[in-house]
Amino acid sequence: MKTIAIVATGGTIAGTGKQGKTVAYRAGEMNVDEIIQSIPMIQDIANIKEYQLMNIDSNEMNPQRWIELSRIINEIVQDEHIDGVVVTHGTDTLDETAYFLTLTIHSAKPVVMTGAMRPATATSADGPYNLYQAVCLATHEEAHHQGVMGLFSNTIYSGRDIQKVNNYKIDAFDQKAFGCLGYMQDHEVYFFSKTFKTHTLNSLFSKSSYHDLPSVGIVYFYAGASCQLLYDMAKNHHGIILTGSGSGNYSEEWLSAINDLSSQGIIFVRCSRVAQGIVFDDDIFDPHHYCISGNTLTPQKARVLLMLALTQTTKREEIRKIFNEY
């Protein structure tokens, strides 16, 4: 039987509240061993090693904790007796952590992230079943070389593209128009596609160790938004993610400010506030090509990639190549 490490970080899956209720709970209250005890059939699937790394609401996740989590997983996967890793995590920022791990884990072993939309004390809590299936997925031979994955509600997602699309239903995740990697039925795994973007072993960023990350902010454009937002953000950040309207668009006032700040060395990435779509280079909204296109990345994931890219280079054209590859 294979051995799977479960690295717990907290979240709703470890949350507790009024018995039976799904609201008004506190995340990160239970230890991982308590959750595992509620899933007796998990012992028939794998030998489990538990790592209670932290126990927090995922809104308390930050770059320093990403670095710590990545470092621990990279240490765990070096153990020849460990066949895969499952990470329990709150759903609110799981997409950001998943992408950071996708870029920084240096292993072909399965790494699966999961969590819950209902606390452990709710009637029909979804966490135990998600965790059970995540362990099953981590033991599967076809899960190797797939990069970091997310597992929710019988569905397998790539760590690059997973995103939370609903804050109410237990089937709360999707990955835009590209489709998921596959599905599960109880313990059975069915892969139908794979991600072709660079990840894990082949990632430039998985070959480095980190103590901190360059500061990158996100600015949201809306009708009438002042360009002062950009100037204020630039005071304390090396790069700025533009969450534009439509295809990553903004006003002429913003364009003028972007041109000015770009000449001062600020790196800009254009993304969109629209849930579906792609942001390409644009000769109208970015005539001098000062901005880097975020492609299919959400603003928060573009921030993750830009922070890591800035650890390697500050040259705009080199960062543009990184965004096209990852």
Q: Catalytic positions, please?
A: 12
Instruction: Return the SS3 of 307.
Output: helix
Q: How far apart are CA 33 and CA 274, in angstroms?
A: 40
* Distance set, CA 168 to CA 17, 117, 212 (Å): 17, 8, 34
Q: How far apart are CA 205 and CA 187, in angstroms?
A: 33
Q: How far apart are CA 92 and CA 115, in angstroms?
A: 10
The 10 Å Cβ neighbour count of residue 302 is 27
Q: What tokens were used for 79?
A: 């153990």
- Burial class, 214, CB count within 10 angstroms (exposed 0-12 / middle 13-18 / buried 19+): middle
Contact 213, 239 (CB under 8 A): no
Read out DSSP for 172-186?
Answer: -EEBTBT--SEEEET
The 10 Å Cβ neighbour count of residue 201 is 14
Which residue, 53, 58, 47, 48, is CA-closest to 12? Answer: 58
Q: How far apart are CA 303 and CA 309, in angstroms?
A: 10
Q: Output phi, psi for 63, to 5 deg.
A: -55, -35
Any bridge partners for residue 86, and if so which? Answer: 6, 112
Read out DSSP for 147-202?
Answer: -EEEEETTEEEETTT-EE--SSSS--EEBTBT--SEEEETTEEEE-----S--GGG
